[in-house]
Structures are given as C-alpha cells and as structure tokens.
Amino acid sequence: MKRFIQTIKNIYKIEELRKRILYTIGIVLIYRFGSYVVLPGVDPNQLGALQSQTSDGILGLLNMFSGGAFSNASVFALGIMPYISASIVIQLLGMAIPYFQKLQKEGESGRKKINQLTRYLTVVITAFQAPGYIANLVHQLGSMPTAIYPFNGTPPTMFFYIASVVTLVAGTLFVMWMGEKITDKGIGNGISMLIMVGIIARLPFALFGEFISRMEEQGGGLVIFLVELVVLVLVILVCILLVQGTRKIPVQYAKRIVGNKQYGGVRQYIPLKVNAAGVMPIIFAQAIMFIPITLAGFAASESLSGFVAIFSDFNGFWYNFVFAVMIVAFTYFYTAVTINPNQMAEDMKKNGGFIPGIKPGKKTAEFLDDVMSRITLPGSLFLAFVAVMPAIVRLFGVNSQFAQFFGGTSLLILVGVVLDTLQQIESHLLMRHYDGLTKSGRIKGRTTTGMTA
C-alpha cells in the first residue's frame, strides 16, 4: 500500500504524465456523458423493448462494447465498432492487395494514408449500419409512436430517419476523433481505451445483478458468489498469459569492422508471441457462427430449422465445440499471414545475424516456422478456452451479462488495454528515474505482443 501511494505521488510530480492522465480522464467523461444523450425524437423512458433485445447475443456484445449506448438509443449508439470493422477490412486488404502492401512498407507516410482510408471506410460502414439500427429501433417501439416522435405523437417521418442517420454517423466520427486524441495527447491507445471504458461501465451492474441472484433462496449463497470471483481471477491470469507470453529466440550478430569502428558481435533475442493473432480469431469465428442465424430469416424448412436450432444455442455443446475449433484454425491462419518467417530470416541475414546452430537463409526460415507452429498450438487452445468460458459458466447459473466478463473478446481487450496503459505509465516513471509500478519494472503491454482491439 505504501508503494502504491508513493507511485501516485511520483505520477503527480511528472507534469507531462499528469496532464496526459487528466486529459484521458476528461475525454472518457465526455464519452460516457454522450452515451446517455438520446437521439432527437426518441423518448428515453420507453426503451424497455430495445434494452431487453440487447441483453444477450450479438446485440448484447455490441451494447457492452458501446458502454450501454446501443440500448440507450444514444448519439454514440454505434460506438467505435464501425471504425474497428474498417480497420479489420483494411488489414485484410493489406494481406491480399499489392497497393495496401506497398503502403504498409512506406513507413510514416504510408501509415497516414492507411489511417485516412480507414476513416473514409468508417463513414461508409456507419452510413450502412445506421439505417439498420434506426429500422430496428422503430420496429421495437413501433407500437408506441410517441416513443419515437414524442413532439407531435405521429409515426416517424422521413426527416426523423435522415436526421437520425446523420447523427449516428457524426457520433461515430466524434468517438473516433476522441480515440485518436487520447492516443496523441493522453495515455494508452485511445480506441482501445474507449472500448475498455464501455466494457468496464457494464461491470458494476452485472456484478451487482449476479450478487443479488446468488443471495436469493435458490441462488447458492455468498460462497458460490465468491467461488465465481475466484474463477474470474483465474481466467484473467490465463488472459495475461495470452497477452504477455513469448518464446525468445537467441540471435547472434557477427562482428563487422568499418573503418575504426566495430559493429555487431552481440547476442539479442527475438520474442515470438504465444498468441500473435490477438483477438482476431475470435472475431472471425464469431462472425461466421452468426451466419446460420441470418439464414434462418430466409428459409423455413425443417432441416434448416434443426441446423439453425443447434447453432443458435450459445450454451449448446456443438455451437461451442465448432466455435472453439474455428478459433484454433483461424489462429493458425492469422499467425501464418501476419508472421513471415522468410522475411524474418532474410532481414536477419542482411544484418549479419544468425541463430546459433542454424544455417542462415532457408534453414532459419524453416526453424522459425517450426517454432511458431509449436507455440501457436497452446496459444490457440488457450484462446479457444477463453472464448467458450462464458458459455461454460452460464451452465452453472451465472447470468448472461456477468458471464461475458469470464472470457471472449471483452476480457482479452480489458486485460490487454490495462497492461498497455500500465506499461506506458511505467515507461514515464522509469525515464525520470522513479520506481516503476512493479518491483521488476517490467510490464508487457499489447504493443509487445501485437494484441489489437
């Protein structure tokens, strides 16, 4: 406790760090305030149907990422997810289209161009998602015209649709802008920080709801609730392992003498990540697993209904088994696409480096590929375990909202952002010769492991 208080004092002494933290807190408060600003023309007192719809499933996940703005019919209802979707699309294009591959290799200028294209694509995605959100809102509250347009008690007009779409697009762009400002002038990655804030905002309600349910006559009592908290801590430790776990490969650099100076002759280590794919395999697998639910709306045959019934049960065995297998497969696929052993071996050779006992060139590439294949297996299995953990705990009576915090993308993002932010604070402290947040002074964030939101 004494060390923690001293660390807070050290943070306050560093003017730049203090300003960055206060700036981040200010942006976060604006974001949270905006999540309660309801779209013009919508009665916030009659949103019960929408809030009930977003209590579980994919809409529940979106509502969690937006910090409840989705179910509040807020101006920030779509949150930052359109920007995340645009980033994923641009990242996938960078794997297949030479133009984007060229931009990725152009350094800072290429990064700025990619960011600009991502913003444009965000506008396009939001413009397509916003009408769907408004149509669903009207459908949920259509029987109560005053809930949609309380000013005159008439059904929603075309002006309401257009104004709402423009407002949602502007809200998403404003959230994106706030995230970029946090990255530039605040602490941590701004986009990830806003997602984390949205997730944490739902935690007190979910925790309190689970506590109340356990205190009921058939709930199991306080002991069961404490057991759930212990399990949650264990799952968090697994997530930390996924974020920080690496396998260090030694690289020896040969001595080179240029003029009167000597270069090389040192040994360094390449940290290969246990989970180089981050949360992307879960996102890809989850998107595919929702296809049967979508198909159910276009066909009504008994065979398809039976198939859809199996893969629409989020707590069912086959849904989670297929989900886990797909995560393992996507982890290998995404790792193979993002990690290029041939390029690593070529760069190592150009810089006069070699792995002791391994010939440079093709043999080094084969060695790196073999190591990545072996360490990716436990990483993919851990990732699959974390992804299906919410379904496992729901079988033991945990309510759906609290179960989301036992795994999946939400917990991985939460752990990754916290570690990343702590790493940046630690760097500021150590740079000014203050003690870090830990005795070892080593906190690995997502920047070390390649985790993304």
Domain map (residue ranges) of the chain: 1-187, 213-453
Burial of 246 (0-12, 13-18, 19+ CB in 10 A): middle
**pLDDT given for residue 26 in this prediction:** 92
**Per-residue confidence band for 255, with pLDDT thresholds at 50, 70 and 90:** low
Q: What is the pLDDT of residues 351-406, one digit of tens each?
A: 777 788 788 888 888 888 888 888 888 888 888 888 888 888 888 878 777 887 77
- Report the number of secondary-structure helices (H) and strands (E) in the chain: 20, 5
Burial of 376 (0-12, 13-18, 19+ CB in 10 A): buried
Across the range 291-309, mean pLDDT stands at 53
Q: Could you read off the pLDDT of 268-296 as tens digits, one per residue? A: 777 778 887 777 787 777 767 766 655 55
Among the residue ranges 39-43, 105-109, 213-217, 302-306, the one predicted with the least confidence is 302-306
101 versus 76: which is more confidently predicted?
76
Residue 412 one-letter amino acid: L
For the cut 80, the answer to whether the pLDDT of residue 145 exceeds it is: no
Structure confidence at residue 29 (pLDDT): 92
| Strand, coil or helix: 252 | strand
Greater confidence (387 vs 447) lies with 387
AA letter at 195: I
Query: Which of 118-127, 143-152, 227-236, 285-294 shows the lowest mean pLDDT across its residues?
Result: 143-152
Q: Between residues 399 and 439, which one has the greater pLDDT? A: 399
pLDDT digits (tens, 9 = 90+) for 11-61: 777 778 888 889 989 999 999 898 888 888 777 777 776 767 666 666 666
Q: Mean pLDDT throughout 426-434? A: 72
If DSSP codes are grouped into helix, strand and coil, which group holds residue 249?
strand
Cα distance between residue 376 and residue 383, in whole Å: 10
Listed ranges 84-98, 305-319, 369-383; the one with the highest mean pLDDT: 369-383
Looking at residue 10, its pLDDT comes to 74
At the topology level, CATH places domain 213-453 in Preprotein translocase SecY subunit (1.10.3370)
pLDDT band at 217 (very low <50, low <70, confident <90, very high): low
Equal fold, 1-187 vs 213-453: yes
Q: Tell me: pLDDT of 207 over 60.
A: yes
Angle (nearest 5°) at CA 158 between 157 and 161: 95
Give the separation between CA 297 and CA 2, rounded to whole angstroms: 59
pLDDT value of residue 70:
78
State the chain's mean pLDDT as an integer: 76
- Cβ atoms of 197 and 67 closer than 8 Å: yes
Q: What percent of the chain has pLDDT over 90?
A: 3
The alpha-carbon radius of gyration of the chain (Å, integer) is: 25
CATH 1.20.1110.10 fits 1-187, yes or no: no
